[in-house]
Amino acid sequence: MGLGSAGDRAHGRRVGRADPRVQPAAPASVIGRNNGRRTLVEAFNLLGTHIALGPWRDTTKLFTVTSPLPAEGKTTVAANLALTLARRGARVLLVDADLRRGTIARVFGIAREPGLSDVLLGTAEFQKATHSIPVNETEYLHLLTRGRACHDPVYLLGSAPAHALFRSLRDQYDSIIVDTPPVNVVADASVIGAPGQA
């Protein structure tokens, strides 16, 4: 592992969630390295197929993306996987649960706040904190950025509001892709990935 996430930036707009009035100027594109773009697309098609059709397809909707250490490509994988699934027509939410250094907002060029932390703290409504960006002529990818900085991300991610939010999302989306901090460094990914969270 060890892929940097620099590269093409997806085009995003801050719009109302699933707003049919949205007329995007350009659909979001797969992000990644400038070279090897075709093979990157194919690799994520393969990953998306495994995720969508794997033996967990009827029981699991929430997928946590993590890595041992920082800067190993978590956000690149999470964003591309979410885009790939959304392009196939699935209703997909990409959540930036790296409440410490999450970069989903920057990658997609959207506002970082309000986001997940604001929803969990009760200072923003989920519907208003969620962004929708087009991925092709008809499909959208939904995004929840990390939101404002908070003092205790592990506590917040393991709190009752977090459990309630992730459970409710199962009814609203086909897949929820969650970008998290490195699992060898902090406990956030373990908290989200533990059974019973979603």
Partner 1 sequence: MTDGHALGFAMEQLGQVGAPVVGTVLNDIDFRRDAAYDDAYRYYAHSGEYAVHTS
User: What is the closest distance, in whole angstroms, from the C-beta atom of residue 18 to partner 1 in the complex?
Assistant: 27
Pair of tokens at residue 54: 């794997």
Contact status, residue 62 vs residue 198, Cβ threshold 8 Å: yes
30 in contact with partner 1 (CB under 8 A) = no
66 in contact with partner 1 (CB under 8 A) = yes
- Residue 72: closest CA among 191, 188, 181: 181
158 in contact with partner 1 (CB under 8 A) = no
CB of 16 or CB of 36, closer to partner 1:
36
56 in contact with partner 1 (CB under 8 A) = yes
Pair of tokens at residue 147: 């939101």
6 in contact with partner 1 (CB under 8 A) = no
| Segments in the chain forming alpha helices (H) | 37-53, 74-87, 104-108, 116-121, 126-129, 153-157, 160-172, 188-193
Q: Which residues bind partner 1 (CB under 8 A)?
A: 1-3, 36, 38-40, 42-44, 46-47, 50-51, 54, 56, 60, 63-64, 66-69, 72-73, 76-77, 182-184, 187, 189-191, 193-195
